Structure 1
Amino acid sequence: MTSRPPHPPTRPAARDVSRRAFLAAIAAGGAAIGLAGCTVISGGAVAADQQGIRLSKDPAPGRAHVVEMYNIWGGTLGNAWVLLAELYEQSQSHTGVRVTYAPLSGNTQIRLQTAIAAGTPPDLAFCTPEEYPQFAGYGVVTRLDGYMRKAGLTEQDYAPAVWKQMTATDGIWAHPVLVDVNFPLFWNKLVFADAGLDPEAPPKTIDELDRFSDAILKKDGRRVTRIGTIPWDYYGFSNSMFTLGFAFGGKFMSDDNQVATPDDDNIVQGLQWMCDYAKKVGGASQLAVTAPSQTLPSIASGNVGMAPMTTTDSSNVFKQGDKAKVELGAALFPYAEGLGKPGGATWLGGYDLFIPKESTEHDAAWDFLQFATTSDAGTEANFENATLLPGYTESPVLDEFRKDPTVAVYREGLLAARNIRPTIPVASTYATALDVAVSSAIYGQTTPERALKSVAAQVNSALDEFRKEHP
């Protein structure tokens, strides 16, 4: 494991130069105000035949205050935020909400970063939990600790890993609005039965995952036509590595969150297992398990035995999957005995809302943010309209998740999770470096140990550079 001298906590830049620094970083391509390699939630695009879908709205008239929120989502998820804003307006008479559709360009929030740099940001915007330390470092977000105290919101009101995300830096700068539980393992009971496995018994350990995969595997010559799971394809190489690294008991950051440790011995073992699995099936390039026209996740093909899925994807398979090919069960992801712990592979991502520093309606923005993320009405509306899981555990929505067998495992994962993706100012660098390095190892171009040492070097160098620029 890399050993490095301690660093001071991540702190925001000096406020009188923050916007200039941010503008300079954008010009240099250094501000990752986007979602590069970080998210596994998708809202979908707006289809021509989706009647009634709205992604923007004007504020209710006659209000003393108006807050503007940038909406990055398309489809039903984007529409859910319009509906939530209208519900909030109905709940009080002092604040109207303007929802402005500001979609991503590639993986970047171009409209948001331009507005922040120009000093005319919206009052509310989205970011991932991994992004806010960079925003705080540039000094372009409003600290929320005081609002949290006044609202009586404390650690006891949040799932443990959610609170860990919120407090990874020297203050609270963003608030979770939807939590991404990464990842429950879904298994196809029909594939299990056909392979001679108990269709009601998912794997609990990595060794069992291996044995079940051996039983499920089918090949036509060198081509793999049925596979147990595809461990390098859990929503990209970096997300796959986080999942297997945690399953093997690894730590991606030092305990003080100051040093990146992807070369942790347990993480190396996790990547070695992935590489060995790829070799055992004949190579990652030999898969022929889904038709090119398939739009549902690969497990819906009937040729994949086990796969992790997001709430959106699992819901789609439950609703649209061919019942002759797929019958799903769900459980927490397996762990490596002797290294990891039961439930330890589960980690959290998702999205937060934050208040840009130079916005004009901080108090009103917090009022709407609090309604959206902690009120019964707000969290219930987001569940009904978009199946969003809040990090605020006092919400009655968690009981709704418990009652619904198709999503109950996400509630279980939320409460069981203790791990988070690295929450640092250079999180996008970390994810990108993992994508490249893990891919190289899986395809036999380097060893797991060398791959992960290269990631450690890149990320810690980027951290050092950020701290020099923003002491």
Structure 2
Amino acid sequence: MRRMRVSRREFLSVGGAAGGAALLAACAPAPAATEEGQAAAPAMEDVELQLAGWPGQGPELIEGLETFEEENPGIKATWLETPGDYRAKLLSMIAAGTPPDTAFSADYYTFARDGLLVDITDMLMADPLLGAEDYFIQPQEEERCTWEGRWYGIGSCWVCHHVYFNRAIFEEEGIDPPSNDPDKIWTWDHFVDVARQLTVDANGNHPGDSGFDIENVERWGMNIPYWMHWSFVLSNGGYVWHPDTRLYGYDQPEAIEAVQKVADLVLVDQVMPNSATFEAIGMGFVQLLETRTMAMVIEGSWSMAYTHDMQEPLGTAVLPKMKVPATWLSAHLHTIMQGTKHVEESWKLVRFLSSPYYQELFLVSGLWLPSQTALITEEAMDRWMSLEVHREGYRNIATKWVPDYGHPMYGPPGEGEASGFIWPALDAVWIGDKTAEEALLEATPKANEVLENA
């Protein structure tokens, strides 16, 4: 994969040239007063844009918008923080005829299909930088951003799933830890075996030992939030939604097997607490590792931003593979809403939000991972990546794990209703009331009927 190198100055200068005649006309000086003494035309009022999104973005977003305003005189950008049911509130604004100019994606494919988003394909392809073949990490960016071959948004970044672990526990137990390098990926069976060695009850017994007390475990080998089974469906050669039909694949053998293996971490392998035990523990993932309640935790890459003050030595690693290395990828997209009176200015904002400068604001904390090739060069990573935040070997997550093994996953139209069949079926598997085969063969056709009629 070719990696582009783009400085902020280059991004701005090319952006200025890309505006074309319309931008030149907009920036032309006002006509001087005539000889008859007529007054000059009044100064143009600032264009005011709104960017809508959900809470929790941090000061980086405001810093970015302030920089955008400095670099685009005559345009003001206001952050419209929208707590609560973001999708419902966005739809209410649209119904009232007062949509924000730009917005974080909500049900992206549904909004694109229903004509609620501006088609940005022509603007993107005409842009000398964003339209370049090697600007984004591909093919993932095009896969997530296009609906029926057209672009309606641009991804903010990437986030993925990977392993976090307490490095001191591995050293004390004399076990080689997992690696951030996909070339050194663990198999699922080895992962479970190590988790078994690291799970210990109050009497020093491990799962499989005579007398192991599941009700009195002092340290669990690992934990996976159940929704993150998606990555293991992919790793087992399956799919959650088919890339062409956009129907659920939970009734396929690969998905059924992967779901059952995740459930068996609790039900058979006894290396992970069940939901009731986990809730009773009542700790976040950093605390779980720091108190040695867990040896390993599978979490999102965004959680790196919450590990800065962790006292125990932290390690990270790629997920174990069932059949092939794989991770779920996602992140919100930046979109222009139909109904805006300022399409050109809104494109300037979305373009700015797709710049290396803006993305880098969120990379330094560990909250985001790059979606642009310019940010996975050695020079760029020297700038935004640090051992204090990202830990040893984490460059492999950005340069190999995401680009080579990442699969974008965004729900198709109708997913909200269809998931009403899938999630209860999965819950029955997690607690052992049904096998994955029983639950998913029953639920998937019902869910797919909803998707087909959405």
Please report the TM-score for the alignment, with normalisation by the length of structure 1.
0.74
1:361: how far off? 0.9
Are residue 437 (structure 1) and residue 413 (structure 2) matched? no
Tell me the residue number matched to 2:310: 321
Runs (5+) with no aligned partner, structure 1: 1-60, 467-471
1:328 is displaced (CA, Å) by 1.7
Q: Deviations over 1:330-365 (max 9, x none)?
A: 1211101xxx223x2x12111111111111111111
Is 1:252 aligned with 2:252? no
Q: Which amino acid aligns with 1:173?
A: Y
The whole-number CA distance in structure 1 between the counterparts of 2:47 and 2:263 is 56
What is the letter of the counterpart of residue 230 of structure 1?
A: N
Q: Deviations over 1:353-387 (max 9, x none)?
A: 111111111111110110111x2333333435784
Asked if the contact 1:263–1:453 (Cα under 8 Å) also holds between the matched residues in 2, the reply is yes
Give 3-state SS (helix, strand or coil) of 1:377's partner. Answer: helix
Q: Can you list the C-alpha shifts for 1:99-149, whole angstroms capped at 9, x where unaligned? A: 22222x1x4344322111111101011125xx2111122221111111111
Alignment match, 1:123:
101
Is the Cα contact below 8 Å between 1:331 and 1:409 reproduced in 2?
no
Name the structure 2 match of 1:51: none
Helix, strand or coil for the counterpart of 2:331? strand
CA spacing shift, 1:386–1:330, aligned 2, 3 Å? closer
1:121 match: secondary structure: coil
Residue 40 of structure 1: aligned partner? none
CA contact (8 A) 2:153 2:333 kept: yes
- Percent identity, aligned pairs only, is 17
Superposed, 1:145-164 pairs within 5 Å as 145-152=121-128, 153-159=131-137, 160-164=139-143
Q: Secondary structure at the match of 1:157?
A: coil
- The residue number in structure 2 matching 1:185 is 163
- Greater Rg, structure 1 or structure 2? 2
Residue equivalent to 1:222: 214
Shift of 1:201: 6.0
| Cα distance in 2 for residues equivalent to 1:465 and 1:82 | 41
Which residue identity is paired with 2:395? A
In the alignment, which residue of structure 1 is the partner of 2:49? 67
Distance 1:299 1:290 in 2: 16
Quick check: 1:347–1:421 contact (8 Å CA) kept in 2?
Answer: yes
Contact 1:225 1:289 in 2 (8 A): no
Give the match for residue 208 of structure 1: 190
Q: Where does residue 154 of structure 2 map in the other structure?
A: 175
Q: Quick one: structure 1 residues 100 and 258, their matched pair in 2 at CA, closer, same or farther if it must change by over 3 Å? A: closer
Aligned amino acid, residue 146 of structure 1 = D
Map 1:386-465 onto structure 2 (within 5 A): 387-395=367-375, 400=383, 404=387, 405-406=390-391, 408-412=395-399, 413-429=401-417, 431=419, 433-465=421-453
- Evaluate the alpha carbon distance shift between residue 398 and residue 279 of structure 1 in structure 2; reply closer, same or farther with a 3 A threshold: same
Structure 2 distance, partners of 1:258, 1:409, is 31
CA distance in 1, matches of 2:173, 2:453: 52
Q: 1:265 aligns with which of 235, 253, 271?
A: 253
Secondary structure of 1:415's aligned partner = helix
Work out the CA distance in 2 between the residues paired with 1:96 and 1:381.
20
Aligned partner letter, 1:90: E
Pair 290,445 (structure 1): closer, same or farther in 2 beyond 3 Å = closer
The superposition leaves residues 3-31 of structure 1 with CA deviations (integer Å, 9 ceiling, x where unpaired) of xxxxxxxxxxxxxxxxxxxxxxxxxxxxx
SS of the equivalent of 2:316 reads strand
1:372 is aligned, of 337, 353, 361, to: 353
Flag structure 2 segments of 5+ consecutive residues without an equivalent.
1-42, 203-212
- Please list the CA deviations of residues 181-232 of structure 1 after superposition, one character each: whole Å capped at 9, or x if unmatched: 2x1212222222343412476861101111101101112433233222123x
Which residue in 1 is equivalent to 2:17? Answer: none
Which of the numbers 322, 325, 340 marks the counterpart of 1:359? 340
Tell me how far apart the structure 2 counterparts of residues 197 and 347 of structure 1 sit (CA, whole Å): 28
Distance in 2, Cα, partners of 1:455 & 1:398: 45
Task: Evaluate the alpha carbon distance shift between residue 88 and residue 204 of structure 1 in structure 2; reply closer, same or farther with a 3 A threshold.
Answer: same
- Between the aligned partners of 2:283 and 2:316, the Cα distance in structure 1 is 26
Q: 1:275-316, CA deviations, whole angstroms, 9 ceiling, x for partnerless residues?
A: 222123557257469843657453333121211233442232
2:350 matches 1:341? no
1:310 aligns with 2:268: no
User: Does the 8 Å contact 1:168/1:423 carry over to 2?
Assistant: no
Distance in 2 separating the partners of 1:172 and 1:367: 16
CA distance in 2, matches of 1:201, 1:341: 16
Aligned match of 2:110:
134
Change (3 A) 1:267 1:297: farther
Q: Distance in 2 between matches of 1:68 and 1:289?
A: 39
- 2:66 aligned partner: 86
Secondary structure of residue in 2 paired with 1:215: helix
CA contact (8 A) 2:49 2:78 kept: yes
Partner of 2:20: none
The CA distance in 2 between the partners of 1:424 and 1:298, in whole Å, is 34
CA contact (8 A) 2:353 2:359 kept: yes
- On the 8 A contact 2:285/2:297 being kept in 1, the answer is no
Distance 2:279 2:168 in 1: 15
